[in-house]
Structure 1
Amino acid sequence: MRALPQLKPMALAAALLCSVGSAAAAPTQAELIRMLEKLNQRVERLEQRNADLERALRDSRAQPQTAQSTVEQRLQTLEQQQEHIAKGLENDTISEKEPELVSRLKAVEMQSAGMLATARKMGVLDGISAGLSLTTVAHKPYGVDGANSELNYRADAYVSLPLARVGDVEQKVFAQFRLGQGIGLNDLPVFSRPNATAFRLQGGLRADDSVALLAQAWYQADIPLPLGGFKPRSKETLTVNFGKMDPFVFFDQNAAAGDETRQFMNTVFVHNPLLDAGGDIGVDANGFTPGLRLSYSNITSKPQSWRVSLGMFGAGEKGSNYERSLTSPLLMLQAETEQRLFDGLPGSYRIYTWSNPQAIHFDSSVAGTEHHTGWGVSADQRVGDGVTLFGRYGQQMQGHVRFDHALTLGAEVNGSYWNRGGDSLGLAGGFLKTSQAYRGATGAANGERVAELYYRYRISRQFELSPNMQYIGNPGGDSSAAAIKMLGLRAQLSY
C-alpha cells in the first residue's frame, strides 16, 4: 500500500488562501487559525491511519512463518505420541507408564479375549444336557409275618452329548450311571414288586458294597425324510438307536405312570406287568441289555402325530449281558399316536407286541428256555387342566407264566386344584390274573389285586417328599393268604 504524501501546514495554508481569495473576500485571521487547526487534525488522523495500515501489512507478511512453526511443533508432538503408542503395543503387559490410550486398548483386548474364550466354551457345551437324582425310600409292611421295614437308596447320573451333524442328520450319545443299596420289600411272596426304585448291583457283592454301574450307553441318529430333501420342511424322521439300553425308555411309555422316582412305585404301575414283574422283558439282573431300535415318526398332521418302532434286544441269561450276540433276541414292535381329545387336551396311545425266545418257565425246576409272546396297550389322556388318566393292559399269548392277563388303571391329579401347583396326587389299581398252568401247579385260583396311593409334596424345585400307601390282596394269587399293606415315604432329590 502506498503511503499518503505528507503536506506542510504552511503550504496547505497558502494554497487555501489562494483558493479562498480567488473566490471571495479574504477571511479574518481568527478564521484562518480555526481552519488551520481543523486541517492539522485531519492530517494527524491520516498519518495515524497510514501508520496502522503499514503495521498491518508487516504483520500479514510475518504471519505465515509463525503458523508454519506452530504446525511443525504439533506434528512433532503427534509423531512422538505415535512412537510411544507403537512401543507400548509391542508387548502384552499393561504398564502405568504407557499412554492411557494404550492401556485402555489392551484392557479391551483382554476382555474381548476372555469373552471369546467363554463363547467358545459355551459353543462346545451347546446341546449338552445332564442330570443327577437321588431317591431314598423307607417301607414298612403290615400283614406279613417276620417282615421288617426296609430302607434303600438309588442314585442316577446321566449326560446327553450332541455329536457333529452329518449333513442333515443329527446325532447324540447318551450315558447313564447308577448305584444303590437295599432291595426294598421286593422279596415278599407276591407277583408284583412294591418298590421299583430299589437297586443293588448283582454279582455276589455284599449288602454293604455300593458300586457304580454303567447302566446305559447308546447312540442315536435322527434322519429327516425324504433323504436329500429340505430339512426345515421335513415332517418325517427315521431314528436309529443302538448300544446298552433300558427297553422301557423306548417302549410301553406312559406320561402318568412311568417314573418310579416321582410317580407310582409298584412295578405293575410303572411298566406292563407281563414284561416287568412277569419277566418277559428279558433284561439282565440289573435291568439293562444291548439292543437296536429303528423308529419312523410322522408329524404331517401336527399336533396329531404317529410313530412305529421296532426293537431288537439281547435276552436270556447270556444274551442280555454281552456273553452272546443278538442271535435269539427279544423283538418288540410298537405303534403309537398322539391325539387331541376332550376339547383339545393331549393324549398318547400305544399298542405293542413282543416275542422272547429266551424266556423261562415259571417253575424254576424246569430247565431250559421257552418261547414267550404277548401284546399290550398303554394309554394316557388328559381330561382336565390337572387330571391325567392312564391305563395298561397286557395278555400273554404263548408261554408258561404265573399270570397271563394284567390290567392297571389310575389317575394323577395336579395340586393346582388346592393351590399347590407343584404337588400331585396319584391313585391306581391293578389286577393280575393267574394263568391256567400256574393254577394247575399251585392251586392259586385267584388273581392278585394291587392298589397304590401317593402324594408328592414339593418342598423346592429339587426336593420332593412322597408318602405312599400300597395294598396287595390275594398275594401271589392265593386267596387264603392275608392281604399285605405297606406304608412308605420317598424322598427325591434331583438336579
Structure 2
Amino acid sequence: MSSLPPRHGFALRNARLVAALTLAGLAGGAQAAGSEIEQLKAQLRELATRFGQLEQRNQELEKKVTELSATAPKAAPIEARVKALEEAQTATDKALLSERLSENEPELVTRLKAVETQTLSMQKQTRQIEALEGITVEGGLVAVAQQVNGAGTESGDRESRLNYRGDIAVTLPGGEIGQAEGTIYAQLRFGQGDGVGLRPTYTSTTNSSTFQVAGVNDPDSSFAVLAQAWYQLNVPLPFDGYKAYSRQRLEFTVGKIDPFVFFDQNAAADDETALFLNNAFVHNPMLDSGGDAGVDAYGFTPGVRAAYVNEQDKAGIWSASLAVFGSGPATNFSGSLGKPFVIGQLEYSTRFFDGLPGNYRVYGWRNGRASDLDGNEDAHTGWGLSVDQRVTDDLTLFGRYGHRRSGTAAFGRALTLGAELSGNVWGRAADGLGLAAGLLRTSDDYRRASADGTVFGYAASGSERVAEIYYRYHVNDQIALTPDFQWISRPGGDDGAGDVKAFGLRATLGF
C-alpha cells in the first residue's frame, strides 16, 4: 500500500479515468475526422506513457519515504517531556526545603547544598575572627622555693617554703562612644603558699609572689579570685578633632583595680614575677609595706581614676592622674566608701643619654582610714618619687623615695636604689642581672614608743637595710629561672637582731 497522502493517489486515478473516456469518445467519432483522430491518438499515447512514468516515480518516492521513516528516531511526545520536567522541578523544590543531604535528592540540589555549607562555614569563621578582633589573653605562672635562716624567721628556726601563683588576664574591646574607645579588663588570680614567716621587719616579706585565699583555713584548698575588673574609656582631644591626629587624651577608669598599675610604676622594679622579689623593691615601701595604700588582703580595691595624657612632643610625654579608691573595709566591699584612699601623680617620660628612655614620677596620697601604731584608724598622708632611666643600651637605673607627712607608723621614710644589667653584655640578651639596696628609716613615733623595750621587745632606731641580687636565666620564650639572694640588716630597726638571709629560686612560665 502506498504511503503517500490520499490526495496524491486520487489525482492519479482521475488522470487515468479522463484518459480512458477521451479515448472512447474519440473512437466513436472516427468517421468525422480521421486524420485528426490519428494525431490525437498519438498524443494520448504519449500522455499515457508520461503518466506511467509518473506512477513509477511516485512508487519509488513512497518506498524511500517508508525506508526513511523506519530508520529515523521517533520523537518523544511533547506532553511526556513537559511532564518529566515538571516532576524534576517538583523534586528539586522539595529537596531544597530541607537542609539535610540525601542520596535520593537530585544531584544539582546536593551540589547546591554542599556549596551553601562551605559558604556558611567560611562566613562563620569570618564572624569568629571579627568577634575575636581586639581580644587579648595573657597568663603567667610563677613558683618560688625559698629558704630563710633562723635569725630571720618568726620561729627562730631555719625554714623553707614553696609557693605558686597564677594569673590570667583578658582584655576586650569596650565599644565606642562617639570618638572615644572603651576597654574592658579582667584578671583572675589563684595560688597556694604563704611563704616563710619573718621576724618583725619593715619590709614585710622577702617573697611578694605568695598568694593564699584568706578565710579558708585549709592549706589543701586553692581558689581563684577576681583580682581586677575595670572599664577604661579613652577620649581623644580635642573633642571635635580628627581622632587619627589626636596627640592628647583623657582616660577614665572605674572598677576593681590594682592601684599600682596606674601609680608608682617603675620599668626596673615593679614586677615580682620577673624582677625583684622583696616587697621593698616592688612598690614604694611607704604605700605597700608601710600600709598606706588602701587595698584589700590581695592588693586590690574598688575605685575610679581620671587622667590627662599629652603626647604632642614625642621627646617629652607627660601625664597627670588622680584616683579615689576604697579604704579600710571598703576595699573588700564590706564597708562604707567614706574616707577614701586618694592618690595623684604627675609623670614625665623623656629621652636622655643619647635618646635612651626614662620615666620620672612624683605623687602624693591620703588614706583616710590607715592604721596607726596603736592600731587605731587615722588619716595618713605622704608623697613619693619613682624614677627609672636607661643610661646605656644594657643598663637601667631606678630609684624610689617615700615620705610620710602625717600619721604614725613603724618607719616614716624610705629610699631604694638599684639597677638591672641586660645579659646582652655577655651574649645572652634575654637574661638579666639585678641589684638593689634600700633604707627604711625608723619613725620618731616608733622610736619613742619602743624606747623602753617593753612594748616591742627592743628599742628601735636607725634604719632597716635591705639588699637583693638576682640573675634571670632565660630558658626559652616562655620559661625563665631566677636564683635570688636577699639580705636584711637591723630588721625592724633592731640593732641587736641578727641578719636575715633568704635564698630562693623562682621559675616563671608566661604566655
TM-score range, shorter chain: 0.7 to 0.9
Q: How many residues align?
A: 418
Counterpart for residue 243 of structure 1 = 255
Using the TM superposition, name which of 116-125 and 180-189 deviates more: 180-189
Q: What is the DSSP-based 3-state SS (H/G/I as helix, E as strand, rest coil) of the residue aligned with 1:460?
A: coil
- The C-alpha deviation readout for 1:326-350, integer Å capped at 9, x for no partner, is 2210110100011011111111111
Query: What amino acid is the match of 1:394?
Result: G
Q: 2:142 aligns with which of 110, 117, 135?
A: 135
Identity %: 48
Post-superposition offset of 1:303: 4.5
Does the 8 Å contact 1:143/1:483 carry over to 2? no
Counterpart for residue 466 of structure 2 = 450
Q: Normalization by structure 1: what TM-score? A: 0.79
Counterpart for residue 27 of structure 1 = none
Q: What is the DSSP-based 3-state SS (H/G/I as helix, E as strand, rest coil) of the residue aligned with 2:219?
A: coil
Equivalences for residues 1-400 of structure 1 within 5 A: 107-144=114-151, 145-192=156-203, 193-203=205-215, 205-316=217-328, 318-362=329-373, 366-400=374-408
Post-superposition offset of 1:149: 0.7
Query: What amino acid is the match of 1:354?
Result: W
Q: Does 1:478 align with 2:489?
A: no
Post-superposition offset of 1:91: 6.5
Post-superposition offset of 1:283: 1.1
Using the TM superposition, name which of 440-449 and 198-207 deviates more: 198-207
CA distance in 2: counterparts of 1:171 and 1:326, whole angstroms: 26
Q: What is the DSSP-based 3-state SS (H/G/I as helix, E as strand, rest coil) of the residue aligned with 1:149?
A: strand
Post-superposition offset of 1:196: 0.5
CA distance in 1: counterparts of 2:295 and 2:234, whole angstroms: 26
Q: What is the DSSP-based 3-state SS (H/G/I as helix, E as strand, rest coil) of the residue aligned with 1:416?
A: helix
Q: 1:370 to 1:93 in 2, by over 3 A?
A: closer
CA distance in 1: counterparts of 2:129 and 2:493, whole angstroms: 57
CA distance in 2: counterparts of 1:178 and 1:401, whole angstroms: 30
Q: Does 1:494 align with 2:510?
A: yes
Show structure 2 runs of 5+ residues with no match.
1-74, 76-81, 451-458
CA distance in 2: counterparts of 1:230 and 1:214, whole angstroms: 37
Structure with larger Rg: 2
Does the 8 Å contact 2:489/2:500 carry over to 1? yes
Does the 8 Å contact 1:180/1:210 carry over to 2? yes
CA distance in 1: counterparts of 2:465 and 2:92, whole angstroms: 87
Counterpart for residue 426 of structure 1 = 434
Does the 8 Å contact 1:169/1:223 carry over to 2? yes
Q: Normalization by structure 2: what TM-score? A: 0.76
CA distance in 2: counterparts of 1:162 and 1:447, whole angstroms: 48
CA distance in 1: counterparts of 2:474 and 2:113, whole angstroms: 51
Counterpart for residue 412 of structure 2 = 404
CA RMSD of aligned residues (A): 2.6
Post-superposition offset of 1:209: 2.3
CA distance in 2: counterparts of 1:177 and 1:421, whole angstroms: 31
Query: What amino acid is the match of 1:386?
Result: D
- The C-alpha deviation readout for 1:273-305, integer Å capped at 9, x for no partner, is 000010100211222111111111111112521
Does the 8 Å contact 1:186/1:195 carry over to 2? no
Post-superposition offset of 1:86: 7.2
Q: Which runs of 4+ in 1 moved over 4 A?
A: 82-108
